[in-house]
């Protein structure tokens, strides 16, 4: 039991980072990015190709992060421009349609050009004993990186002027303009951050299991489930839901079977939404 809960926490931390990238973009600009998983996959692929070109793993992973951020920026500058000109429900809908289209295009290209490729960052080393459980080195390193990322996000949003400015746009966009903040610029920064987070998920995930080029949609769906359970637009909610669902997923996998874990995850999500339609920590509406 301890082992599967620990595994669940490792997974849950990654779920949290995955969902944070989606929920920030939604909270800030009312945009749901359905190509989010594809951004993760492309970043992983860039890391893989860079390593194959002879670059060591760590700098290659950093290049992967840059690729994720760059993709976020490209989205902001291109297909999201018409989205920004709409408001409310029309904006959410158009963002769904356009990013879904982008996801299909990216998926199609990857399947044609790089079929069956996948990033697999094997980390060697003796298993580490944590709370009496032997953890693979890959899991330990992935969790360490993820925890540092969560810490950096917390520091950014809690203690920096920029983080405060971003939160102010989420809480009251007009109020943020009145104190001199440009919401459009904040949205651009958040899309870059969201792309980097997607890349971090792909890279840390590949230390535990391979991330292949077809994983895009399942990553997006996972991110959406966690986001909705945590409450759309809530960063703490994303991490809380990530941990809860990560543990549920891992316990269900080891006691019931991996083939049913996604269904159990969906059922858990559905029950949460029925009981609390705004999600665990949602505040909107």
Partner 1 sequence: MLEVEGVSAGYRGSDVVRDVSFHVDEGETVMIIGSNGAGKTTLFRAVCGLLPPSSGEVRFLGEDITGLPAQKVVRRGLAFVPAERHLFPQMTVEENLMLGAYPEKPDPDTLETVLELFPRLGERFRQLAGTMSGGEQQMLAVGRALMSQPRLLVLDEPTTGLAPIVARNAYAALERLREQGLTILVAEQQVPLALAVSDRGYVLENGAIGLAGTSAELASDPRVRSAYLGVV
Q: Does 161 bind partner 1 (CB under 8 A)?
A: yes
Strand residue runs (E) in the chain: 118-119, 128-130, 133-135, 211-212
* Per-residue binder mask for partner 1 (CB under 8 A), 226-265, x = binder: ----------------------------------------
| CB distance 232 to 284 below 8 Å | yes
Comparison of 167 and 214: residue with beta carbon closer to partner 1 = 167
Q: Nearest CA to 209 among 7, 3, 1, 43?
A: 7
Confirm if 100 and 86 have CB atoms less than 8 A apart: no
- Interaction mask 163-202, partner 1, x per CB under 8 A: -xx-xx--xx-xxxxxxxxxx-------------------
Instruction: Map the footprint of partner 1 across residues 266-285, applying CB under 8 A.
Output: 283
Q: 132-137: which pairs have CB atoms within 8 A and are 24 or more residues apart?
A: 132/2, 133/2, 133/3, 133/6, 135/6, 135/10, 136/208
Alpha-carbon distances, residue 107 vs 103, 152, 267 (angstroms): 6, 31, 28
Q: Map residues 116-135 to x or -, x wherever contact with partner 1 holds by CB under 8 A.
A: --------------------
Three-class secondary structure of residue 211 per DSSP: strand
Query: Smaller CB distance to partner 1: residue 54 or 180?
Result: 180
Query: Considering beta carbons, is residue 264 or 283 the nearer one to partner 1?
Result: 283
Q: Give whichever of 28 and 61 is closer to partner 1, judged by the CB atom.
A: 28
Binding residues vs partner 1 (CB under 8 A): 161, 164-165, 167-168, 171-172, 174-183, 283
């Amino acid at each position: 039991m301890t082992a599967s809960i620990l595994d669940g926490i490792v997974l849950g931390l990654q779920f949290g980072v995955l969902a944070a990238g989606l929920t920030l973009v939604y909270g800030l600009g009312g945009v749901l990015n359905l190509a989010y998983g594809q951004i993760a996959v492309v970043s992983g692929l860039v890391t893989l190709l860079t390593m194959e070109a002879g670059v060591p793993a760590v700098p290659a992973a950093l290049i992967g992060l840059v690729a994720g951020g760059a993709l976020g920026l490209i989205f902001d500058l291109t297909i999201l421009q018409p989205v920004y000109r709409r408001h409310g429900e029309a904006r959410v809908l158009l963002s769904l349609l356009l990013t879904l289209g982008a996801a299909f295009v990216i998926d199609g290209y990857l399947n044609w050009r790089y079929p069956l490729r996948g990033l697999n960052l094997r980390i060697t080393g003796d298993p580490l004993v944590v709370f009496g459980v032997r953890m693979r080195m890959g899991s330990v390193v992935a969790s360490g990186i993820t925890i540092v990322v969560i810490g950096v996000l917390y520091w950014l949003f809690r203690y920096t002027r920029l983080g405060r400015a971003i939160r102010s746009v989420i809480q009251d966009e007009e109020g943020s303009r009145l104190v001199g903040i440009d919401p459009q610029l904040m949205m651009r920064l958040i899309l870059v951050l969201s792309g980097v987070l997607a890349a971090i998920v792909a890279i840390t995930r590949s230390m535990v299991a391979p991330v292949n080029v077809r994983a895009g949609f399942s990553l997006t769906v996972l991110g959406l489930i966690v986001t909705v359970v945590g409450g759309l637009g809530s960063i703490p909610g994303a991490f809380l839901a990530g941990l809860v669902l990560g543990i549920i997923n891992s316990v269900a996998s080891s006691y019931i079977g991996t083939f049913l874990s996604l269904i159990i995850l969906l059922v858990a999500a559905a029950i949460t939404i029925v009981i609390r339609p705004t999600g665990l920590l949602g505040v909107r509406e």
